[in-house]
Amino acid sequence: MIEVKNLNFTYGKGSKNSLTLKDINFTINKGEIFGFLGPSGAGKSTTQKIIIGILKNYLGSVKVMGKEVRNVKEDYYEKIGVSFELPNLYSKFTASENLSFFRGMYKGETEDINKLLAMVNLENYSNKKVSDFSKGMKMRLNFCRAFLNNPEIIFLDEPTSGLDPLNAKNIKDIILQKKEEGKTIFLTTHNMNVAEELCDRVAFIVDGRIKLIDSPRNLKIRKGSKNIKVEYKEDGVIKEEIFTMESIGCNNDFLKIIKEKKIERIFTMEATLEDIFIEVTGRSLS
Ligand code: ADP
Ligand code: MG
């Protein structure tokens, strides 16, 4: 669905080291949720803006559904859905007036506005002016915009940012539901939980470069250190010891504890995606 080859981009004239994006390569398959994970300023939103055809003076090739986005026309926007990082809504309009206005831009079939508002728990606020909305409500309304034209490919920039846990969970569920329906989703985030829970594959991006692309599961198996923590009780006190998983069956210290102590808990200690991000890139996500 999306094929990015040797993508380089700069906002200014500048030299090679002022490039915002440096030799970006990836492909996204139909029905996949692909996550762009990286700290603020890494180039996530810039990449999204290039793929959706807003920034055109890039080097390399960016093809969506077989077409180079540098040359796309209006009809491209009939097929994709976008929600930007910062809500761009008309604050003097109500929620439903906003969606009606944006819906009017599409030639093809569009979704029912009340259905979209209900999807993000805003059904009781459809006649309220956006100027009276909280930041989270604006984010949820902005999220709806991406689905007005029932698009095949959906671009979501930091979709859960500024949302309370319940609404964030709802947004994540909607994204998974869209994947079930066969939609392709490009998601940018600096939130490792979002990446871990939703993405089939993630790209780690730092300073305009992709450091690695893999599934969260593979990353955890291949990268994160594999340790076992044993908690046991001795003289009424809980004690703990950590062992590496490798050759655990021949580890006499481990076996001795298992045989002789009163075991309370044994568990594997998994690295989080954030731990792995730091290990791979040397940078933190915040
Ligand atoms: P992210 O979404 O990963 O936080 P961005 O893609 O927004 O990162 O930004 C990447 C880099 O490009 C940052 O250094 C940012 O300051 C710069 N940048 C973003 N937008 C512009 C712009 N319109 N003009 C100049 N520089 C920009
Ligand atoms: Mg961004």
Q: Which of 55, 50, 23 is nearest to 205 (CA)?
A: 23
For residue 56, the CA-to-ligand 2 centroid distance in Å is: 18
Protein residue with its CA nearest to atom 27 in ligand 1: 11
Residue spans of beta strands (DSSP E) within the chain: 2-9, 21-28, 33-37, 59-64, 67-68, 80-83, 153-157, 184-189, 201-206, 209-214, 227-234, 237-244, 262-269
Q: Which of 233, 237, 240, 235 is nearest to 254 (CA)?
A: 240
Distance CA 68, CA 282 (A): 34
**What does the pLDDT average to over 143-154?**
96
Distance CA 80, CA 199 (A): 19
Handedness of CA 234, 238, 239, 244 (dihedral sign): positive
The pLDDT-based confidence of 283 (bands split at 50, 70, 90) is confident
pLDDT surpassing 90 at residue 18: no
pLDDT surpassing 70 at residue 14: no
pLDDT value of position 12: 82
Distance CA 282, CA 209 (A): 13
At 217-269, the pLDDT tens digits run 898 887 766 789 999 999 999 999 999 888 889 999 999 999 999 999 998 88
The pLDDT-based confidence of 15 (bands split at 50, 70, 90) is low
What is the end-to-end Cα distance of the chain in Å, rounded?
A: 30
Protein residue with its CA nearest to atom 6 in ligand 1: 43
Q: What is the pTM of this model?
A: 0.86
**What does the pLDDT average to over 57-69?**
96
Instruction: For Cα atoms 266, 269, 275, give the angle at the middle one, nearest 5 degrees.
Output: 170
203 lines ligand 1 (CB under 6 A): no
The pLDDT-based confidence of 144 (bands split at 50, 70, 90) is very high
> CB of 122 within 8 A of CB of 132?
no
Exposed e or buried b for every residue in 62-84, given b needs 16+ CB within 10 A?
bbbbeeebeebeeeebebbbbbb
> Which of the pair, 87 or 94, is modelled with greater confidence?
94
Protein residue with its CA nearest to atom 19 in ligand 1: 46
Ligand nearest to the CA of 84: 2
For residue 41, the CA-to-ligand 1 centroid distance in Å is: 6
38 lines ligand 1 (CB under 6 A): yes
pLDDT value of position 146: 96
- What percent of the chain stands above pLDDT 90? 79
Protein residue with its CA nearest to atom 23 in ligand 1: 11
* Domain range 2-220, CATH class: alpha beta
> CB of 179 within 8 A of CB of 199?
no
pLDDT value of position 16: 52
How is residue 206 written in tokens?
């730092």
How is residue 277 written in tokens?
């991000």
Average pLDDT, the chain: 92
Protein residue with its CA nearest to atom 21 in ligand 1: 11
Strands 227-234 and 262-269: antiparallel
- What percent of the chain stands above pLDDT 70? 98
For 59, phi then psi, to 5°, come to -105, 150
For residue 45, the CA-to-ligand 1 centroid distance in Å is: 7
Ligand 1 atom nearest to CA at 188: 2
At 181-218, the pLDDT tens digits run 999 999 999 998 899 999 999 999 999 999 999 999 89
Distance CA 54, CA 34 (A): 20
pLDDT value of position 221: 80
